[in-house]
């Protein structure tokens, strides 16, 4: 890969940090809180976490985007479709 690929990797990290905890008082509820930049391949981790929660039977899922620095339109579209 050339210098452009290295620059793109620096701008678009491959993974985003996502914390998870149960929602207090909500049976089957979970809170996912990603932190960082949700663009390109970095958003894959959020999609995987969201889909895993749904497969495992989450009855309520809350996303805390307070620590997200920026989000691309594809990730926003995914979140809107999931809603």
- Taking only the tens place, the pLDDT of each residue in 20-65 is 999 888 888 999 999 988 888 878 888 889 889 999 999 999 999 9
Q: Where are the beta strands (DSSP E) in the chain?
A: 17-22, 29-38, 60-63, 67-71
Q: Which residues contact 35 (CB under 8 A, 6 or more apart)?
A: 16, 17, 18, 19, 67, 68
The reported pTM is: 0.74
> What distance in Å separates the CA atoms of residue 32 and residue 35, rounded to the nearest whole number?
10
User: Residue 12: what pLDDT?
Assistant: 53
């Amino acid at each position: 890969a050339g210098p452009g690929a290295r620059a793109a990797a620096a701008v678009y990290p491959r993974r985003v940090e996502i914390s998870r905890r149960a929602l207090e008082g909500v049976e089957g509820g979970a809170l996912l809180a990603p932190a960082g930049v949700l663009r390109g391949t970095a958003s894959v981790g959020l999609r995987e976490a969201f889909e895993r929660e749904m497969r495992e039977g989450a009855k309520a899922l809350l996303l805390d985007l307070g620590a997200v620095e920026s989000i691309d339109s594809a990730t926003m579209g995914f979140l809107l479709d999931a809603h």
